[in-house]
Structure 1
Amino acid sequence: MGAYVSIRGWLECDEGQFTAARKVISSHEDDHYSHGWGAPRRHINWTYYLFYGANIRESAVNWFTGQLREIARISDADGYFVRGLFLASHEAAGMTEWQVREGRLFTSPADTRYQYLDE
C-alpha cells in the first residue's frame, strides 16, 4: 500500500512571483494532491502567500518537491527569490524540514521541537 508523508508549509513572494508560482502549480495539476495548494481568499498588504497541506503517498513526494524546486528558482526584478518553509513527516522515517531559499530547495532533519506535530 505504501507509506504516507504529511506535508505542511508555505511560500512567500511578491505579486509577479505569485503568478509565476501558480503557473508552475497548474502545470503539475493531478486533480488529487494538487488540491492541497491554497492561498488567502484576498491579498493583504505586500507579501503574497501560497500554502500547502496534505497527506500524500511517499511515491508522490518527488512530484511535490519538483514543484518546489521550480518555484524556488523564480526571482523578481531585483533578484530576490521565492522563499518558504515546509515540514514533511514520513510515517516511518520521521520529520524533515524543507527550506525554499536562494533559488534552491534545502532539506535537513527537522528540529525536535516540531515533533509534537507528529503525535
Structure 2
Amino acid sequence: MGMYASVRGWIEIDFKQRPAAEQIIERNRHKLYSGGWAFPSAPFNWSLYLFYGGDIRQSDLRWLRDQVEQLAVMPPVDDDNDLPRGLFLVTADQREGAEMWQIREGRLDELPAPDLSWLGE
C-alpha cells in the first residue's frame, strides 16, 4: 500500500471558461481520482469556483498538479483580463507537513504551509 495525500482546494474561473476547464479535466481523466472535481450545479453571481477534494496516492500528485497548472494558465475570456486564481492545500504524512499550490497571475506556485499542517492530523 502506498502513501496518500489529502488534497482540497478551489480555483476561481470565469463562467465562460467552464467548457475549457471541463475539457482539461476530461482530457486528464483518472479512473479513481477524477471524481474529486466538482462544479456548482447551477451558476449564480459572477464567479465560478471549481473545487477538488480527495485522498490520492502521493505518486499521483503530479497527475493532479499538472491539471491544476493547465487550469491556471487558461487565458482570460473578457476585457477584464482576469486570470484563474485559487488555492489548494496538500497534506501527506504528518512529518512532512503541508504545502499550498497557489494559483495566480497565470502560474502555479508550490509553497510550504506549515501553519496549516494541523489540517492533515
Check whether TM > 0.5: yes
1:75, distance to aligned residue in structure 2 (A): 1.9
Q: Secondary structure at the match of 1:71?
A: helix
Alpha-carbon distance in structure 1 between the residues aligned to 2:114 and 2:96: 14
1:110 aligns with 2:117: no
Which amino acid in the other structure matches residue 31 of structure 1?
A: K
1:93, distance to aligned residue in structure 2 (A): 1.6
CA contact (8 A) 1:85 1:99 kept: yes
CA contact (8 A) 1:18 1:49 kept: no
CA contact (8 A) 2:7 2:56 kept: yes
Which amino acid in the other structure matches residue 7 of structure 1?
A: V
Unpaired segments of 5 or more residues in structure 1? none
- Cα RMSD over matched residues? 1.3
CA contact (8 A) 2:8 2:51 kept: yes
1:115, distance to aligned residue in structure 2 (A): 3.1
Which amino acid in the other structure matches residue 100 of structure 1?
A: I
**Runs of 4+ off more than 4 Å:** none
Q: Secondary structure at the match of 2:6?
A: strand
Counterpart residue number, 2:5 = 5
CA contact (8 A) 1:16 1:76 kept: no
Q: Secondary structure at the match of 1:50?
A: strand
Tell me the TM-score normalised to structure 2 length: 0.90
**Count of residue correspondences:** 118
Alpha-carbon distance in structure 1 between the residues aligned to 2:44 and 2:32: 28
1:3-49 deviations in whole A, cap 9, x for unaligned?
11100000101112222111100101112100000011111111011
Counterpart residue number, 1:32 = 32
